[in-house]
Homo-oligomer: A and B are copies of this chain.
Amino acid sequence: MKAVKIGLLGLGTVGTGVISVLKRNADEIARRAGSEITVVAAAVRDLSKPRDIDSSGIRITDDPMSVVNDPEIDIVVELIGGDGVALDGVNKALENGKHVVTANKALIALHGNEIFKTARSKGLVVAFESAVAGGIPIIKSIREGLSANRIEWLAGIINGTSNYILTQMTEGGRNFDDVLAEAQALGYAEADPAFDIEGTDAAHKLTILASIAFGISLQFDKVYQEGITNISSEDITYAQKFGYRIKHLGLARRTDRGIELRVHPTLIPEQKLIANVNDVMNAVLVQGDAVGPTLYYGAGAGSEPTASSVVADLVDVVRTITTDPENRVPHLAFQPDTLSDLAILPIEEIDTAYYLRMGVINRPGVLAAITEIFGNKGISIETISQKENGDGKEDGEDKVSIILLTHNTKEGHLCDAIKQIEQLDTVYGSVTRLRVETLS
């Protein structure tokens, strides 16, 4: 199985993420793609800049054209940004017959129509999942997963910087300037934040989403664009009083009179799922005529989340160019001869937290007897609470409920403890047991 060879243009945040992910998950990725994927060259702007990555086996150069002209390279990954060198590199890569993967939303929004035309004429792939909403597979979901639908509208929180600022203003009651300064200190906003907070970045992404949703060409110049710079904490407070949250949305909607394409701060009813997407997270809500509303949520930026989509695009290209086209994607995601025989744990062996409820006679020592059993089994209690349960009295004594939350423990130990508790003469009935998962 010949390795597929990759050349990177740009080795900043996303580029180093791509190298880390491809190295760390090399085995799983090859099992999925049916081929190894190896970075053989990377073009950087400044050769002298120190880089915190394992670049063994990678030719580092400051000449991007030497990467796109390298005959050994099958796929060029463009991570420079903007539409100067990036555009030249992509055009030259296509001219040289190489597939292209790019994370560059401005490039696609502004020059995609021509780039795709060139790619089609040469039978090449240009993949751009990472250009919109970072690690969320939103391009694939709309373009392939929802292909049965007439898309009616979509609405996305697609700029993490703006969402972080609005979330902090909402939760802390703070003003725009303070939060922006903090976001810059944390690296969530650029030194020159205009691109994010004025809505340009979101408008680039909305251009791409609208195009694949409605089957129209890319038309960035038609997007109405308003940023978050005029949002005051006062408006956030009033909106909350009326039951709304303020989010910066990209909205694309079909109407009888034409298509609405607009990016602006928006009040959304607070009970909507998307109104609760906070901090730097992104989400896109897509309304199809058959499927109804669907939502896609995840990290919209960052080194490895963006790399996740870049590498997924690489796997797509590799599956296309190396395998029988009728079996492009393996049924069970991994190539059939590479399935693992990992052990499936019996339920007694799982490790989780528990909610327990038990009926007890309210007698001195009852709590001590119960907690002693947990202690002996090495089970740590997070919360214990005693409630009147209205069951009345037994032999003149009060019956109450004990509700208890444990920390993580092995299910087998917990079951042993429950058996012992149910044998206490102060405990009546059986113990109700539910598992607790914090899902993080």
Q: Residue A216 contacts which of B140, B149, B224, B340 (CB distance < 8 angstroms)?
A: B340
A89 within 8 A of B: no
Number of residues from A at the complex interface, CB < 8 A: 144
CB-CB contacts of A99-126 with B at 8 A, as 1s and 0s?
0000000000000100011011001111
Interface residues of chain A: helix, strand, loop or mixed (majority): mixed
Contact A259 B439 (CB under 8 A): no
Interface residues of A in 228-268 (CB under 8 A from B): 230-232, 234-235, 238-239, 242, 244, 246, 249, 251, 254-255, 257-262, 264-268
A155 within 8 A of B: yes
Contact A145 B137 (CB under 8 A): yes
A264 CA to B140 CA in the complex, in Å?
A: 31
Contact B216 A342 (CB under 8 A): yes
Contact B436 A312 (CB under 8 A): no
Number of copies: 2
A125 neighbours in B (Cβ, 8 Å): 326-327
Rounded to whole Å, the gap between the CB of A357 and the closest CB of chain B is 6
Answer whether A149 and B326 are a contact pair too, CB < 8 Å, given A244-B436, A437-B249. no
Q: Give residues in A with beta carbon < 8 Å to B.
A: 17, 21-22, 24-25, 28-29, 31-33, 112, 116-117, 119-120, 123-126, 129, 135-137, 140-150, 155, 211-219, 222, 224, 230-232, 234-235, 238-239, 242, 244, 246, 249, 251, 254-255, 257-262, 264-269, 272-274, 276-277, 285, 288-299, 304-305, 307-312, 314-316, 320-321, 324-334, 336, 338-347, 349-351, 355, 357, 383, 387, 389, 401, 403, 405, 432, 434-440
